[in-house]
Amino acid sequence: MRKFSNIFVLIVVLITVLNMIDFHWEIRFVDTAKNYLFVMVLSILLPISILTWSLNRASKLKKVNGIIISLILVIPCYFVATVASSNFEDIKNNGVDYSFEKINKLQINDNNYVLYRTNGGATTSFGLVLRFEKPFIKGLKFVKVIYSKDKASESTLEFEADNRITMHIQPYNKGDDVEVVSFDL
């Protein structure tokens, strides 16, 4: 059981850390709801794995420290699981993730360039995120953020003949101009 608890905590902590680091490329599920489900499961497994590890230690100090760490992690993990659960339910009921809503997509060969509108809630501004998404294996995709902009909510994507993508970002405030951003493929 001790060997299992070592492997279990190592895998869960490693996956958690890798998901918290902002890598150049990320792996995501194609089904958005599964991304939220993954976060919920991971936030439940993190304190459980540390508790399991600590209960299988011979040293009383390691047991106590592991229990304390797992109890401390319960609060933020519960918060993350609750928020992810709320978004998961909304996506299952409505079919749309309004916090990261797909507003435009260009498909070029097997590659997708997808424009999302971000919505953090009442106290934040909308934003735009353009991502390169490439199917990886069934149900998974590689994702790379190409461009992001805060205080923006509407834009279009166009594929230009010279292998460029152009975004026309509509003004967020009155009096601003349309912003044009281009990317070479």
17 and 89 fall within a common domain: yes
* pLDDT number for residue 185: 79
Alpha carbon separation from 121 to 2, 115, 125 (Å, rounded): 44, 19, 8
72 and 150 fall within a common domain: no
16 and 82 fall within a common domain: yes
Last residue of a domain, one of 41, 70, 94: 94
* pLDDT number for residue 44: 95
* pLDDT number for residue 5: 85
Q: What percent of the chain has pLDDT over 70?
A: 100
Average pLDDT, the chain: 90
Last residue of a domain, one of 71, 94, 117: 94
106 and 81 fall within a common domain: no
45 and 115 fall within a common domain: no
Report residue 136's pLDDT band, with 50, 70 and 90 as the boundaries: confident
* pLDDT number for residue 69: 95
pLDDT in tens, 40-91: 999 999 999 999 999 999 899 999 999 999 999 999 999 999 989 988 988 8
52 and 134 fall within a common domain: no
Alpha carbons 162 and 143: distance in angstroms, whole number: 24
pLDDT in tens, 156-178: 899 887 788 999 999 888 888 88
pTM here is 0.83
75 and 122 fall within a common domain: no
Last residue of a domain, one of 61, 94, 127: 94
127 and 61 fall within a common domain: no
Number of domains observed in the structure of the chain: 2
pLDDT in tens, 6-24: 899 999 999 888 888 878 8
Report residue 97's pLDDT band, with 50, 70 and 90 as the boundaries: confident
Q: Tell me the residue range of the domain where 64 lies.
A: 2-94
86 Rama sector, left if φ>0, alpha if ψ -120 to 50, beta otherwise:
alpha
Look at residue 131 and tell me whether its pLDDT is greater than 90: yes
* pLDDT number for residue 98: 84
